[in-house]
């Protein structure tokens, strides 16, 4: 899936997730995480408080083409789950995805002070949380 097609999924993922009722558990595996391919500075990662009692830190690479999030999301059984996503920034909005696994796509969308983590499984179920920077 190309990056532009994947980025176009973000609004659809958010819309579909409002309809989800039974949530599958998101995988916790090395497939969701990979070694960063971009350089990151040593500054502390911005933290976000999210719906469903989730907490996320999100650190963009220096070139803004990659983000590394660490997410604790109790509803899907995550504690300090790390996901590397690729994407880009346009203006003050950044959009990143990870479609490395066959059964799920992850998306992180952020703008100043806010973020959205969305997941869509290949069975059509989806889940998202909205976040505020703290």
User: What is the structure's pLDDT at 13?
Assistant: 47
* Domain membership of residue 103 as a residue range: 3-34+42-133
At residue 38, the pLDDT reads 77
- CATH code where residue 94 lies: 2.40.128
CA pair distance 132, 1, nearest whole angstrom: 29
**Per the structure, how many domains does the chain have?**
1
List CB contacts of 84: < 8 A, sequence separation 6 or more: 33, 34, 35, 36, 37, 66, 67, 68, 98
Alpha carbons 116 and 48: distance in angstroms, whole number = 10
Instruction: Round the average pLDDT of the chain to a whole number and report it.
Output: 83
Whether residue 77 contacts residue 28, with contact meaning beta carbons closer than 8 Å, is answered with yes
pLDDT bracket for residue 35 (50, 70, 90): low
Confidence band (pLDDT; 50, 70, 90) for 33? low
């Amino acid at each position: 899936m190309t990056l532009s097609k994947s980025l176009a999924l973000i609004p659809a993922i958010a819309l579909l997730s409002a309809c989800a009722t039974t949530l599958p558990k998101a995988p916790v595996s090395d497939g969701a995480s990979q070694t960063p391919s971009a350089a990151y500075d040593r500054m502390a990662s911005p933290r976000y408080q999210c719906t469903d009692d989730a907490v996320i830190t999100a650190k963009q690479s220096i070139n803004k083409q990659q983000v590394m999030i660490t997410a604790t999301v109790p509803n899907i059984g995550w504690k300090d789950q790390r996901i590397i996503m690729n994407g880009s920034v346009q203006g003050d909005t950044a959009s990143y995805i990870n479609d490395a696994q066959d059964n799920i796509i992850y998306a992180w969308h952020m703008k100043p002070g806010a973020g959205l983590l969305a997941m869509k499984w290949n069975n059509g179920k989806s889940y998202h949380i909205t976040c505020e920077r703290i």
